Amino acid sequence: MPGRFLMLALGAAMADRTMVELRASRALRVAEVDQAMLKPRLNGLQPDPTKKPWLEALTEGSGLDGIRMVEILGLVAVALIVSRQAKFPLCGRKAEKEQSTFDPVAAREYRFGPSLMQKLEGSHAMTSEELANVLHTHVGEMTGPTRQPSLGLSDRQVEEHKQIFGKNALTPAKKENPIWLLVKQVFGGLFNIMLWICVVCELVLAVIFDGDDMLTPVILSMVIVASGTLQWWTELQAESMMQSLQAMQSTEKVCCLRHDGVALAVTEEWVEPADLVPGDIIQLEAGEKVPADLRIIFCTDGAEVDNAALTGESLPEPRSTTPEGPTLAIMEARNVCFFGTTVVKGRMQGIVFRTGDHTFLGQIAAKMTTATRTRSSLEVQIEHFVHIIAFVALAVGLLSLVANVMSPVHRGIDKILGNAATAFFAQVPEGLLPTVTISLMIASRRMVKQKVLVRKIDAIETLGCVNVLCSDKTGTLTAGCMTATDIVTLCDNEIHMCRCTADEWQTPVASATVLHLAQCGLLNNTCRVNPEGQLTGNPTEVAILEACCRVMGDDRQEYQEQNPRVFEIPFNSESKWMLTVHSVSPGVFRLILKGAPERVLALCKHAADQADICDLTDQRRGEINTALYRLMSGGRRVLCFAEMYLRDMPDDFDWKGTGPQDANFPMDGFAWLGLVGLEDPPKEGVKEAVATLDIAGCKTVMVTGDHPTTAQAIAERIGVLDSVEMEALPKEARDHTVITGAMLAEYVPEGDGFEGPEVTQEQLKFWRTAVQHARVFARVSPMHKRVIVRAYQQLGGAICAMTGDGVNDAPALKAAEVGVAMGIRGTEVAKEAADIVLLDDKFSAIVSAMGQGRLCSENLKKSIMYTLCSKIPQVMPTFAELLGVPTALTVAQVLLVDIGTDIVTAIAYALQASEADLMHSVPRPMSERLVGWKVLMYSYGYFGWMQMACCWATFFLVPGIQDLMSVPSEEWTAEEELVDVRGMTAYYWALVAGQLAAAVCTTTKSQSLFSYGLPNGALNVCIVFEVALALAAVYWAPMQGMFQTASLGWQSIALPVGLALVLCLVEEARKAIVRPSGGKPGY
């Protein structure tokens, strides 16, 4: 009984509350009801005395009494309580939303069903009402620009959708903690690990075996930490510059239509784009950015959006409200606007159907955060070099260990391990990391001065190795804005074509017809001037107006005021023309027609020829069509102009109509004025840059989403394609010179590349042919661009760079060895994916950056060659001890050479000028290592042995050294120990002199120093510094105690200097032998 009473109480309480909530929720969820039914349901919230009590109405006809019904409601209440404890989101109530374990996915499935995202993929195929029902919003009835009151979401629904869908913002790429990045730079990498092993070994010898050399591990540790910190700081600075660029881009508020859910008072709220949710109705005007993926429910005739950032299409694309077919890809739909694009003409309203990471742009950005980056060329080369050095160092160390153990001279374990560690240590170029890091930093600083921001400094060297440059067209190779380039008119009974760009236009105007056409362009135009005095509006309209202003001069505003517009038929997708009517004088009106040539010509009967009007004969139409074809085949967009005068018309005539079929004025006697050709022109300096890249052995390939005809025309103009060479190619090669997205669609592999078992032989054959012959890829999707890059890398054996500015370029930017983004026009997604950012968007900057990369690579090779020269004379004293030779070099002295002498000089190579124009030679092939057999043979098999001979000659000429070979070191007197210290000092000084000779000799590979001149100023200063440091180590008492050196006589100082000069002369003889004719550097 108590349980039953409790159930009844719960049932009564729950029923009382539930009925109120159900009525309220039904009234507030306007997306589920028709507008006609909305007010009656809201009125249902008010008490109605004519209605029966709710319990009686509920039990009527059910066969249950009221008590039993209350019990049932009590059970429902218990079930609801249990479900809340199970944390299921019910009814979207605030209590559930505020739970810390709120699951937005579960809430979305409960509220909208489990297949919401799949439904939204077909938003373009739904009617506005169908999509509104899916998103629980209400579009009302649209009659032109007017709106019914029930449009949009209620405030309560907005909060609910925010909980379910989150903020309308892209999830930023996960950035690692700067401290953790520093730790990885200092302790990560095979080379760093090898250096830390050296530090540990030295510490073990010093602590466990009571060694006296604590200086070596301390200095080496400082070098490793400093090197890692420098690279970390450089990349952190680049990241800081990227963040400052992003901070400069502000977002404007969006006009959003919402209501309060009770009084249904619709308000226009200006909200931040991040606060938009699916189901919101927003309104956009020309010039505004689209803040989310949007299904258009209303737009003015001729509305257009700029999709270049997503698709690469250079021309604005028209938009409409008509549902598309379900088989059409949503990217091709005309009734959808995507996040990140821009409205360039007209105004529109639409339903937000995807926000944040679910937008098309967000999906691409998400792929960028999960995709693995292609390793840079420098990473691969350094890893290869480290493997070689690790093998050599371990082999030498083990050989020394075995030799010491098997030596007839008995040595303690500490002495054996010390000798082995010294041999191992001598082969490790401790200064390599700081040398590479600082050299790249110097190159990075130089490139910043050329407006090139390097985000990953190892990309500098890789850029110098690039032999295929895949480049987007719109905004990268071209200006990214429309420009009127050609005017075609009838002049003295002949078709006349003239250029009208800012650089090529010549005044005064010789043709009256051109002047008439310019007047029409000024009057029939929708551009506006913003407060800053800049023209705004459709890019095509702006381009036409700018060209007409060049013809007319500064009389634009005055001429427009003198010919006021009295009537207009806007452009629409059906008629494809725009008509304006202007009052010229009392009773005289001028009708100006502008639009698609075939539509305008159909309304023309005459043609303007200077001041005369002649008949538009079939022959003349054919001549006009020939000129039209010529412009279109050159990648131009063409508009046609015509005019007609109406006389004896009432000044207050009521103009009406939308076309020839319903106009209350004649529209069939226009006089053709001319054609205007427009294009997105190549950027300044692009043609010269492409030619330079071609000479440098780097093939430029255009990869664009634009139309093939436009892409091919631009490619021919900038030198990417040569029509004459194309005609001479075999048919198969010619057919693969320009490849469209439709051609390659069936050959796209399922995986990320061409190395999996699922790749067919047909796919491999197609792509091998494509990477060999293709110069233009047109009408390709973002994922196609990534596949193209992979094809060049895996099937073409190329080191590939990719340039771009749009979201559609981001996958390929990350896949390439070097991704290059535009700094001004580029989207944040593109810049985040790139390694290098062109701050001024100049394509020509890539050429100078590539030259800098090649110089950096060349100087790094010379620097490493110089550093390795000292390894043979550093290790030989360890093995000489087995023959009874006194100690000639200590670990501390090896470190003094590597850190105090070599590292400073090696860094100075970064400032060295090139031997010749590096952009007139081919890039280093992938098969050629940065540290190849030539470098190793030079250092280990040639110059290192000459250095060693000089060192031993100096060592054995020290008085008393040879006598020590017959006396065990344990029996040496203090004087004899001093003799050994002098011998070590002489060996050290001879090694320094030999390295000075190596620094001078490796400045050039084959060019004579007598023609090249002295090394750069920094290297000269470093040489002076090395000499000063070495002399301080020889003669300054504090350093003598630190590095076990002693003062030398002038003979021991002068001899190594003389021998160093001999080394330079020998090297000059070698260069003369290997140098090709003409004195140019070979190798």
Residue 187 phi, psi (nearest 5): -110, -10
Q: Are residues 794 and 808 in contact, defined by beta-carbon separation less than 8 angstroms?
A: no
Better-scored residue on pLDDT, 229 or 572: 229
pLDDT tier at 269 (50, 70, 90 boundaries)? confident
DSSP string for residues in 999-1058: HHHTT-SSS-HHHH-S--HHHHHHHHHHHHHHHHHHH-HHHHHHHT-----HHHHHHHHH
Cα within 13 Å of Cα(628), Cβ side: 17
What is the H or E stretch that residue 293 is in?
strand 293-299
pLDDT tier at 37 (50, 70, 90 boundaries)? very low
Cα within 13 Å of Cα(870), Cβ side: 37
Tens digit of each residue's pLDDT (9 = 90 or more) over 849-884: 898 888 888 888 888 888 888 888 988 888 887 778
How many residues belong to the chain? 1083
For 864, the token pair is 């490493």
Determine whether 98 is exposed, middle or buried from the number of CB atoms within 10 Å of its CB (0-12, 13-18, 19+).
Answer: exposed
SS3 of 803, please?
Answer: strand
Give the CA distances from residue 362 to residues 143, 386, 699, in Å, rounded to whole numbers and listed in that order. Answer: 33, 40, 32
Q: Are residues 904 and 1026 in contact, defined by beta-carbon separation less than 8 angstroms?
A: yes
pLDDT tier at 373 (50, 70, 90 boundaries)? low
Q: Are residues 321 and 294 in contact, defined by beta-carbon separation less than 8 angstroms?
A: no
The alpha carbon of 1058 is separated from its chain's Cα centroid by a whole number of angstroms, namely 55
Highest mean pLDDT (candidates 224-238, 294-308, 1032-1046): 1032-1046
Closest-CA residue to 795 (of 766, 768, 759): 768
Give 1039's contacts (C-beta < 8 A, 6+ positions apart).
1032, 1033, 1045
Tens digit of each residue's pLDDT (9 = 90 or more) over 164-182: 888 888 776 667 778 888 8
Among 501-510, 698-707, 914-923, 1028-1037, where is mean pLDDT lowest?
501-510
pLDDT over 50 (residue 734): yes
pTM of the model: 0.69
Q: Are residues 508 and 668 in contact, defined by beta-carbon separation less than 8 angstroms?
A: no
The pLDDT assigned to 353 comes to: 93
Angstrom distance (rounded) from CA 295 to CA 281: 10
Angstrom distance (rounded) from CA 574 to CA 1062: 86
Angstrom distance (rounded) from CA 514 to CA 520: 10
Among 8-12, 231-235, 427-431, 507-511, where is mean pLDDT lowest?
8-12
Closest-CA residue to 516 (of 608, 402, 584, 637): 608
The pLDDT assigned to 24 comes to: 35
The pLDDT assigned to 82 comes to: 42
The predicted model gives 768-782 an average pLDDT of 88
First vs last C-alpha separation in the chain: 103
Angstrom distance (rounded) from CA 194 to CA 818: 28
Handedness of CA 194, 1002, 456, 803 (dihedral sign): negative
Angstrom distance (rounded) from CA 457 to CA 444: 7
Handedness of CA 534, 540, 544, 547 (dihedral sign): positive
DSSP string for residues in 568-635: EE---TTT-EEEEEEEEETTEEEEEEEE-HHHHHHTEEEEEETTEEEE--HHHHHHHHHHHHHHHHTT
Strand-strand pairing, 153-154 and 254-259: parallel
pLDDT tier at 750 (50, 70, 90 boundaries)? confident
pLDDT tier at 671 (50, 70, 90 boundaries)? very high
Among 14-28, 102-116, 514-528, 1030-1044, where is mean pLDDT lowest?
14-28
The pLDDT assigned to 249 comes to: 46
The pLDDT assigned to 1066 comes to: 92
Highest mean pLDDT (candidates 83-87, 124-128, 413-417): 124-128
Please report, as a single letter, which amino acid is at residue 657.
Answer: G
Long-range CB pairs of 501-504, under 8 A, 24+ apart, other chains included? 501/681, 502/546, 502/550
Q: Are residues 857 and 841 in contact, defined by beta-carbon separation less than 8 angstroms?
A: no
The pLDDT assigned to 367 comes to: 66
- Could you give the angle at the alpha carbon of 584 between the alpha carbons of 578 and 590, nearest 5°? 30
The pLDDT assigned to 296 comes to: 92
Q: Are residues 360 and 307 in contact, defined by beta-carbon separation less than 8 angstroms?
A: no
What is the H or E stretch that residue 388 is in?
helix 377-406
Residue 71 phi, psi (nearest 5): -60, -45
pLDDT over 90 (residue 775): yes
Mean pLDDT of the chain, nearest integer: 79
Count of Cβ atoms closer than 10 Å to residue 517 Cβ: 27
What is the H or E stretch that residue 713 is in?
helix 708-718
Count of Cβ atoms closer than 10 Å to residue 55 Cβ: 18
Calculate helix-pair angle for 871-880, 974-1001, nearest 10 degrees.
150
Determine whether 252 is exposed, middle or buried from the number of CB atoms within 10 Å of its CB (0-12, 13-18, 19+).
Answer: exposed
Residue ranges with strand state E in 464-556: 468-471, 483-491, 494-499, 528-529, 535-536
Angstrom distance (rounded) from CA 363 to CA 352: 16
The predicted model gives 451-468 an average pLDDT of 86
Among 34-38, 97-101, 284-288, 1073-1077, where is mean pLDDT lowest?
34-38
pLDDT over 50 (residue 587): yes
Better-scored residue on pLDDT, 11 or 915: 915
Better-scored residue on pLDDT, 591 or 212: 591
pLDDT over 90 (residue 701): yes
Find where tokens 């390894």 sit.
871
pLDDT tier at 8 (50, 70, 90 boundaries)? very low
SS (H, E, C) 299-334: ECCCCEEECHHHHCCCCCEECCCCCCCCCCCHHHCC
pLDDT tier at 46 (50, 70, 90 boundaries)? very low
Q: Are residues 423 and 400 in contact, defined by beta-carbon separation less than 8 angstroms?
A: yes
Angstrom distance (rounded) from CA 409 to CA 667: 114
For 948, the token pair is 């060693």
